[in-house]
A and B are shown apart, each in its own frame.
Chain A
Amino acid sequence: MPLPPFVGIFQTAAELGLISSITVLALFLSYSMLNICDLSTDGCFALGAAVGAMVAISSGNPLLSILAAMLAGVLSGFVTAFLQTKMGINSLLSGIIVNTGLYSIIMLIMGGRPTLNMNNTDTYFTPFKMLLDKTPFAGLYKTLGALVAVTLVIVFLSLFLRTRLGLAIRATGNNPAMVRSSSINPAFTTTVGLCISGSLTALSGCLLAQCQKSVSSDIGSGRVTIALASLLIGGIFISARRKIPFRAIGAVLGAIIFQLVYAIALRFNMPAYMLKLVSAVIVILAIATPYLNSKRPDLVRRFKARRNGTPEVPANDGGGSNA
């Protein structure tokens, strides 16, 4: 059934937004909770896609492919965590190193081929297609499948972050010294957190590959920036003071809004390769705006002083900056 174009845009945005929102939820755990910028996200996403595709093709069992992809993500997260907690490697560098190493592993898994095709393979979305077959909603089966996956992840995260282990992970990103004085090893909580976030990133990659019925080795490229942009957009709507389930929903909304803006831009003939520049600019704006806002009074004073050509004289109370 052909849909009017604007419905098509919304549907594609919702579908891609929901699937990539699982990566955003992974970053919600590693970036917002653990306070670690995990740059292995790109590689981990592609790893999940490649492993999920290979297992789906060879076993024909979509459930098994998802479990395998998530397990691969756990391993990737474990290595990233091991490098930063036990090997003394800076956390950003750990992510970059794992990301680089994963490229070879992904090619190895894909048997040296740059793309894999799943046209004749049962995927995670196949049961949803059969469920909605011959109903008016038949075209929405991918959206439904993605929605179910995202809901499960949000429920899991909301419950998990309220457990003692979840609280310890949140505290690790907030004040590691306090975690140690509560007799909890922050290296352990960091490892658990990165393993879970890795498994979610890989799940997201696996679902995107199965949704598109193909994988290319560069499927993960730029994912960390896109996910960060979505996370920060979500944060504009749902503040960090809200309860965790709301913040997780905010992260998903952010991902959908990002995809929607992108889809609309495509309608206005923006070339597809501009996606990454757009996501880079969004991340810069979202992180820099609060910083520049806090600096604004100082900048304004300096600007005025320079325009008047007079050296800066402290105002009557002398309580301002010493710029």
Chain B
Amino acid sequence: MLKINNISKTFNPGTVNAKTALSHVSLHLDKGDFVSIIGANGAGKSTLFGAIAGSFFTDEGSIILDGEDITLQPDHKRAKVIGRLFQDPQLGTAPAMSITENLSLASGRGGWMSRVTKKDVQDFRERLSMLGMGLEDRMNMPVGLLSGGQRQAVTLLMATFTTPKLLLLDEHTAALDPATAEKVLEITETIVRENNITCLMVTHNMQTALDLGNRTIMMDAGKIIYETGGEERKKLTVSDLLVLFHKNSGKEMNTDRILLS
């Protein structure tokens, strides 16, 4: 489904601030793969997502999604087939506009001059009620008045409105309180499973990285340093991961933001 071949990215090349954020990264995903990504701050996890979503073009290498070369496609075109969620719940929605209006833009339905129909509203209501947050009764409320968790749930609904070929989750529960984070993660799992969406998820929670999905990769200094899946992964514990990180990167995982449980 996704073939990343040997991509590299250096920011501010040729200056004292030059930083190689991705260095010859290759990654292949099959349809329905759910891959969790762990790594210290600055390992290149978010840069990898930026490269896939088209926030910038890579310096070399190619990105093929479902047989189509998207290496040089602008971000808004890729957004048709790639859904993306950020850590900051503010980023995914337009705060001054209502839930209905946000969903309507994300739905991609109709021509430029089309308007939201009663049928659309009914459809939005059904999808919102699946979140179990009571948002279906507040569809005309500006999204800016919702809590972070509610906004993130709405963003998730928007990103998966038309089933994307690839879903990128960039620590999308990290800014939420633990109970809400768990709820949003649960909704994520349901939506991804029901639609068989191919998915990449960055997380700082090592246990989540092992519990969710079918593969886990570890990044450091712009490279993938370890990859696991299948039976081998099922036996791993969080402490195994820390040992593996030390072995492969030659340093300790910085533990200021990493959650061990």
Q: List residues of A whose CB falls within 8 A of some B CB.
A: 162-165, 167-168, 170-171, 174-175, 177-186, 240-241
Contact = CB atoms under 8 A, between A and B. Distances in A.
Given A174-B94, A174-B96, A183 B104 contact: no
Contact of B158 (A177, A180, A182): A182
Contacts, number: 79
Nearest to B106: A182
Contacts of B106: 181-182
30 contacts: A162-B116, A163-B112, A164-B104, A164-B109, A164-B111, A164-B112, A165-B112, A167-B97, A167-B104, A170-B101, A171-B105, A174-B96, A174-B97, A175-B90, A175-B95, A178-B94, A178-B102, A178-B105, A179-B76, A179-B105, A180-B76, A181-B92, A181-B106, A182-B105, A182-B108, A182-B158, A183-B79, A183-B80, A185-B76, A240-B96
Given A167-B101, A175-B93, A180 B112 contact: no
Contacts of A179: 76, 94, 105
Contacts of B116: 162
A177 B91 contact: yes
B211 to A, nearest CB: 27
- Binding site secondary structure of chain A: helix
7 pairs of A and B residues whose beta carbons are closest in the complex: A174-B94, A165-B112, A171-B94, A183-B79, A183-B80, A175-B94, A180-B76
Given A167-B101, A168-B105, A182-B158, A162 B115 contact: yes
B84 interface: yes
B35 interface: no
Most buried by A among B90, B102, B106, B112: B112
Interface string B56-99: 00000000000000000011110110011000001111111100
Contacts of A183: 76-77, 79-80, 108
B110 interface: yes
A164 B113 contact: yes
Contact of B91 (A163, A167, A178, A240): A178
A178 B95 CA distance: 10
B121 to A, nearest CB: 13
Contacts of B108: 182-183
B241 to A, nearest CB: 31
Interface in B192-221: none
Nearest to B112: A165
A165 B105 CA distance: 9
Contacts of A181: 76, 79, 83-84, 92, 106, 158-159
A279 to B, nearest CB: 27
B200 to A, nearest CB: 16
Contacts of A185: 74, 76
Nearest to B93: A178
A270 B110 CA distance: 55
A178 to B, nearest CB: 5
A163 B114 contact: yes
Given A163-B114, A240-B96, 7 more contacts: A171-B101, A175-B95, A181-B92, A182-B106, A183-B76, A183-B79, A184-B105
Contacts of A167: 97, 101, 104-105
Nearest to B108: A183
A164 B115 contact: yes
Contacts of A241: 142
Contacts of A168: 105
